Structure 1
Amino acid sequence: MAVYSLPKTFAPAEKLDPIIERYKAFRLLSLKQSPESFSSSYEREIAFPDETWIKRVCGPLSTNIIAVSGNPTGSEGNKEQERDLLLKEEWLASLTLSGPFDKEAAVAMFKNNMWIESPSIIMGDEIEFYFGLYAMYVAPNARGAGLGVSLVEYAKEKALEIVGGKKTRLVLVVDFDNIGARRTYEKGQFVLNHDYWFDDTRCGRAQRTQSAVMRVDIGGPDSLRKNTTP
Structure 2
Amino acid sequence: MAAPHHPLGPVVPIPKPIPSSTDLEAIVERYRDLRLHGLKVDPEAFTSLYEDEVKFPYKTWQSRVENSIAKTLVAVDPETNQRAHIEEKPHAEKLSSHSASIQRLLRQEWLGIATIIGPVRFSEQSDDAMAASVKPQLHTAFIKDGKYQIPDPSTVEKEDLSDTHAVFLIVGLFILPQARRRGLAGRLVEASINYIREEARRKKVCKAGISIQVSPTNFAAQALYQTMGFHVSEKAIVMNSQQGEEEYVMGLEMEVNLGSEF
TM-score (norm 2): 0.70
Name which of 52, 59, 63 aligns with 1:55.
63
Aligned to 1:213: 251
User: Kindly tell me: are residues 133 and 76 of structure 1, through their superposed partners in 2, closer, same or farther at Cα, counting changes over 3 Å?
Assistant: farther
Check if 1:169 corresponds to 2:209: yes
Segments of 5+ residues of structure 1 without an aligned counterpart are: 115-125
Q: Distance in 2 between matches of 1:76 and 1:146?
A: 28
After superposition, the Cα gap between the structure-2 partners of 1:179 and 1:77, relative to the gap in structure 1 and judged at 3 Å, is farther
Number of residues of Structure 1 aligned to a counterpart in Structure 2: 207
One-letter code of the match for 2:14?
A: L
Give the structure, 1 or 2, with the largest relative contact order (CA under 8 Å, sep 6 or more). 2
Residue 221 of structure 2: aligned partner: 181
TM-superposition CA deviations, 1:138-181 (whole Å, max 9, x none): 10111111111111110011112212164210001112221110
Q: Deviation above 6 Å: which 4+ runs of structure 1?
A: 199-202
More helix by share: 1
Q: Which amino acid aligns with 1:174?
A: V
- Mapped partners of 1:133, 1:91: distance in 2: 19
Does residue 4 in structure 1 map to residue 12 in structure 2? yes
Aligned to 1:129: 166
Equivalence for 1:117: none
2:167 and 2:96 map into 1 onto residues whose CA distance is 25
1:113 equivalenced with 2:132 (yes/no): no
Counterparts of 1:210 and 1:107, CA distance in 2: 15
Which residue number in structure 2 is paired with residue 34 of structure 1? Answer: 42
1:90 corresponds, among 96, 104, 109, to: 109
What secondary structure does 1:164 align onto? Answer: helix
Secondary structure of 2:181's aligned partner: coil
Q: Which residue of 1 aligns with 2:97?
A: 78
Question: How has the CA–CA distance of structure 1 residues 28 and 191 changed in structure 2, closer, same or farther, with 3 Å as cutoff?
Answer: same
| Partners of 2:11 and 2:73 within 8 A in 1 | yes
The separation in 1 between residues aligned to 2:29 and 2:96, in whole angstroms, is 22
Distance in 2 separating the partners of 1:40 and 1:142 = 22
Please state how far the C-alpha of 1:130 moved relative to its aligned partner: 0.4
Contact kept in structure 2, 1:175 and 1:209, CA below 8 Å: no
Report which of the two structures shows the higher radius of gyration computed on alpha carbons: 2
TM-score, length-scaled by structure 1: 0.79
Aligned residue for 1:123? Answer: none
Q: Distance in 2 between matches of 1:76 and 1:148?
A: 28
Q: In the superposition, relative to structure 1, how do residues 195 and 3 fare at CA in structure 2: closer, same or farther (>3 Å)?
A: same
- Alpha-carbon offset, residue 201 of structure 1: 6.3
- Residue in structure 1 matched with residue 5 of structure 2 by the alignment: none
Aligned to 2:224, what secondary structure does the other structure show?
A: helix
- Identify unmatched segments of 5+ residues in structure 2: 1-8, 80-90, 124-137, 150-162
After the TM superposition, which of the residue ranges 13-22 and 43-52 deviates more from structure 2?
13-22
Mapped pair 1:193 → 2:193: no
Instruction: Note the C-alpha offset of 1:77.
Output: 5.8
The one-letter code of the counterpart of 1:8 is K
Separation in 2 of the partners of 1:79 and 1:19? Answer: 14
Q: Is the 1:6–1:66 Cα contact (8 Å) retained in structure 2?
A: yes
Supply the RMSD in Å over aligned alpha carbons.
2.9
- Following superposition, the deviation at residue 46 of structure 1 comes to 1.4
